[in-house]
Amino acid sequence: MPPTLRSSIHGRKAVQQPESVKNSIHLAALSIKTDFLQPEQLDNEDEDMQSDHEMMSSEMEDDLDESYYNDVDAPLQSSAQELLRPLQETADRVSRQVEEFSQALDRFRGESKNLSGQKLWAATWNLMDTYAGIANKSAGRVQASSAEHKHAQKNRKSLGDTTAQKENLLLESDIWNLTSQILPCKSPELLEDAHHAENAALVQLHRYSKNDEIWAAFMEVDPVANHYEVLLDWLQERKRKTSPALKDSDLKSYDDCGRGDVMWEGGNIYTQAPIKRQKVTRAHPGPLQPADDMRTMHFRKSDSEPLVTQMDPDAALRQDAMLEVEDELYETSAWHASWELLRRGSSPDQCRNWWQDRNELWRALILRSPGVQNSSEVNKAWLRIINLASNRELAILCRDLADNQDVATDYENAVYGILSGSYSAAAPVCESIDDHLFSLINSLLIERYEQFLSAFQQKLQTPDLQEYTPLPPTTAEISNYMQSSQVDKATKAEAHQPHKYLQSALVSDDLAHFFLEMGHAAAQMAHLTGQSKVLFDNDETQVNECAQVAAQDEDVVRMATHLQLALQPLGLLDQAYDENALVLENNIINYMGLLERHAKYSLLPLYASKISAERQPRVLGRILSKVTIPKERDMQMRLMKSYSIPVYRVIYTICDYARRTWAMKLSPQREALQAAKVIEYKDKIVRVRTGFIGQVHDEDEGRVVEAHEWVNCIDTKNWGMACWLMTALYKNLLLSGKLAAAKSLSTRVELAQTSLKVTGMNLSLAALVAETPEEDGDTDMEGDATVDDHSRLASPTKRRKESKPNHPLAKETTNRSALAEQSLVWAHLELLVQAMDTLELWQDLANSVDTLPRNDPKTVKTAKKELGHALQTVHSAMQPLLDHGFLSSAMDEQEDHDLRQIREHYLPECILAYNSALYFGGHAITRQHLVQCMELAQQVAQNETLTGAFVASRRMQELVTAFAHDSQALLRANEHSSASTRGRGSKRSSVSGEKGGRTDIWQVQWRADAET
């Protein structure tokens, strides 16, 4: 039995319209995977999960409504709305198409998981039909919006949303239809059946076989012929759809042939008149003979050329004579009409009706190639080729006429060229790439059919001959033409149109090369234009200029991506993927960049699941760093998990890429990084520098901190990676003096809350009491190559490959002690930042004392109370910094280097600042704080970590001087207190902290104490 073909002989499956889809981006995303959401949750997700783009648009509209439109007249408001309408409609169309294509792809993904063989192929060409339906609907929407105000039409034209846009949408629909028709010609079932049919291709044929039976046997054994037939049928249908109804006035030279506006009839009427005059003059009852004397008397008055003496269609060629000028122009129009009827694939009935109305049925007879016909096939457009089986002489004669240079018009050569399969004869009248393709593919198909007919004739002479081997594929000739069309002046502009470039690859059966060219061009144009370049490595491969244009066209990028994703499961791109998988993935990544530009973040995981596991984190990470709304992050997490994307690797890329990008922007600003100063000297006395942390004003700093909020989404097993990401950023921020960003990080991604959310345990306190791991002197971690010191941090990924298996951050564990150990450095760095924050707040409060009224005991009492609470907060925050081994639990050699730098700078600064706060509190609140200064001195002296930091930073002299001032102040306070108690009737000094002290809170003199 012949295989089921999607061809003109065996029928074509009707295009299926896609199901109705929802317009919301988030409903589109949620409809992809709803197994993890309850039905009642979907509405809430849809309401809350707005993209940044949508929220911004909404805010802009609100602003315009409130501040502008209320103050203008109605006509002006209407004009503004019409001005923006084309842009909004285009954006809506693109958004709707993007979502509908994603939904169709995801449905196909789910349905095709368990399919194989012919069922998978059938599902794929059904998907192509669905895509065609989406494009058809989009074209319909563009058409519906054409009836609008004339000003809006001008605006639409200026924005590119014109008739050309609709034509591209219709072409897109046709391309998807063509794909669904071509795929069966490549299916393994058809190829296998065709291979088996070769052994008995001619068995059922005999001398009485009908033309359509011979044609069916030919199509059964030759898959390439099936491909050509589909292409020809598609090209003819495209011509019918995109061209207006054929009219006489549209034909070449018709306006000059003297027929007027009415339909002609009667043939060459201007040449008939001289012939009739000669017959009357000579009283000649029969046809005139072209004798020599007739040539001297029967000629055209315009140029004295001899006229024909008979009116049959071959007279001019046979007699080597001319028609009247009007009739020659008429012949040009008539052959042009015949060409158009062939080009549009008109049926024999349509051709007959056309020429019957013009009283020239013989022309219709030429076009239909008369021969033995089956009644069921009598009205097929393919009758002219099918009938070559019984009328091969006609093909020979047509070929001779096609090659005859004496034929009066190129259109006559073209008609005979189409009938005989001569591309060279038809090429001169081809005005478009599609015309050339029609003529060329027609020639290739007839060539293959004549080869089969020759084998059939041999079989009739040699009955034992049953086998037939088809000609090798000749699609290379189509590819050669498509390449030449890109440099031919007549077709160059058309060939460079992105949609045409895709069509040419499909027609020439060269999709693998097309995808490779597009992949190279995607990377090149990304770096050239700057759009999405962070997603690609630079590519310097020489590519076609058409590919570079197409790689920037959003519609073609979308089509190429979805076509590639549909063909890949069929195995049609296996060889290309084996050799150039990364290049082919560029097409998918290019489309993901397009989704990013349209803020379609919820659609990204679907396409990320189609690229290699190595590139998923990089691509998703660099895009999703822009997702800042917690609910949208949660949705991304669910989607990534549903598509089996390793979430922890994506989170690592988001944070690491944000940190490195910020670090590279920071590095050119200074040669060496400078940590922030916490203290300052005024009159040789140490004070906390006012506002030394400040606020985050740099957008890059804000973004890098915001990106690390993704750490809250990591899983327990990869907690070590989260700790590495956080400590890496803390170290970068501290070493570069970005304390405001470090403070923001400590509040946005607090260890206590994050660990509780991720692991279910509060690791902020547990980390402090965890045992300090022994330093491994043999650990040699190779840091990533970056631009400067603050980026020399080895990633956990490298650690897993290069370090020992027991590296704390490389362990996947849920053990509380191990998790606490991993969190230790993070906890220390966070505590350091929090301690500095309390110091800044203390100094702000201390400075505000100067603004209070000095003679109000109630105010003084309140101020002292506030200062006391603030100082107690400083005391609590500083205690962890005074512990043994603070910031000394490095996980590797590089981290030990970074922590040592932080210790040597910030610990002396913070301790001197803390001592300064105690010194001030000893004067302003109670002398007990001066006693704490002495206790602080003892703690520092007994702590090797602290003394080592002061010695290494060469600040021991500052510390000794500060403690000396503390001793002097305490001694004076004791003497003053004793003198006060000996005084008669005196009250206790406020320095003693006892009730009834005087209001001397403002009498703290830094300079006086220094000079004592």
The first and second tokens of residue 62, run together, are 């609100």
Domain positions in the chain are: 242-268+324-466, 679-1003
The yes-or-no verdict on residue 114 having pLDDT over 80 is yes
User: pLDDT, tens digit, for every residue of 937-956?
Assistant: 999 999 999 999 999 999 99
SS3 299: strand
DSSP states of 949-982: HHHHTT-HHHHHHHHHHHHHHHHHHHHHHHHHHH
The yes-or-no verdict on residue 50 having pLDDT over 60 is no
The count of residues in the chain is 1012
Tell me the CA distances in angstroms from 793 to 134, 218, 700, 803, one per residue in order. Answer: 49, 68, 20, 14
As a whole number of angstroms, the distance between CA 471 and CA 560 comes to 31
pLDDT value at residue 374: 57
As a whole number of angstroms, the distance between CA 350 and CA 348 comes to 5
Orientation of helix 816-848 relative to helix 857-878, angle to 10°: 150
Tell me the CA distances in angstroms from 309 to 294, 301, 317, 532, one per residue in order. Answer: 8, 15, 12, 74
The yes-or-no verdict on residue 1009 having pLDDT over 50 is no
Structural element, H or E, at residue 688: strand 685-688
The first and second tokens of residue 315, run together, are 């007279």
User: pLDDT, tens digit, for every residue of 434-468?
Assistant: 999 999 999 999 999 999 999 999 999 888 888 89
As a whole number of angstroms, the distance between CA 740 and CA 694 comes to 6
Query: Residue 206: what residue type?
Result: H
As a whole number of angstroms, the distance between CA 740 and CA 345 comes to 74
User: Do 466 and 411 contact (CB within 8 A), yes or no?
Assistant: no
Q: Tell me the CB-side half-sphere exposure of residue 472, using CA atoms within 13 A.
A: 2
Indicate the range of 73-87, 255-269, 415-429, 581-595 predicted with least confidence: 73-87
pLDDT value at residue 506: 95
Greater confidence, 852 or 520? Answer: 520
For residue 679, the 8-state DSSP code is: E
- Nearest 10 degrees: CA dihedral of 775, 779, 782, 783? -10
The yes-or-no verdict on residue 778 having pLDDT over 60 is no
Greater confidence, 145 or 364? Answer: 364
Beta strands per DSSP E along 530-660: none
Count other Cβ atoms within 10 Å, centred on residue 151: 13
User: pLDDT, tens digit, for every residue of 238-264?
Assistant: 999 999 888 776 677 766 665 666 555
pLDDT value at residue 970: 83
The yes-or-no verdict on residue 983 having pLDDT over 70 is no
User: pLDDT, tens digit, for every residue of 309-333?
Assistant: 888 888 888 888 888 778 888 888 8
User: pLDDT, tens digit, for every residue of 3-35?
Assistant: 444 343 333 443 344 333 333 333 333 333 333
Structural element, H or E, at residue 759: helix 751-759
When pLDDT is averaged across residues 822-831 and rounded to a whole number, the result is 93
Choose among 742, 749, 776: nearest CA to 764. Answer: 749
Indicate the range of 2-11, 534-543, 650-659, 788-797 predicted with least confidence: 2-11
Structural element, H or E, at residue 871: helix 857-878
pLDDT value at residue 446: 95
The first and second tokens of residue 300, run together, are 């055209």
Greater confidence, 506 or 686? Answer: 506
pLDDT value at residue 600: 93
The yes-or-no verdict on residue 776 having pLDDT over 70 is no
Give how far the C-alpha of residue 835 lies from the chain's centroid of Cα atoms, to the nearest Å: 45
For residue 682, the 8-state DSSP code is: E
Overall CATH class of domain 679-1003: mainly alpha
User: Do 908 and 953 contact (CB within 8 A), yes or no?
Assistant: yes
User: pLDDT, tens digit, for every residue of 471-495?
Assistant: 999 999 999 999 999 999 999 999 9
As a whole number of angstroms, the distance between CA 900 and CA 945 comes to 10
Greater confidence, 809 or 866? Answer: 866
pLDDT value at residue 198: 86
Task: Write the CB contacts of 259 (distance below 8 Å, at least 6 apart in sequence).
Answer: 248, 330
When pLDDT is averaged across residues 767-792 and rounded to a whole number, the result is 40
Contacts 24+ apart (CB under 8 A), 857-865: 857/999, 860/999, 860/1001, 863/1001, 864/924, 864/925, 864/1001
As a whole number of angstroms, the distance between CA 926 and CA 949 comes to 30
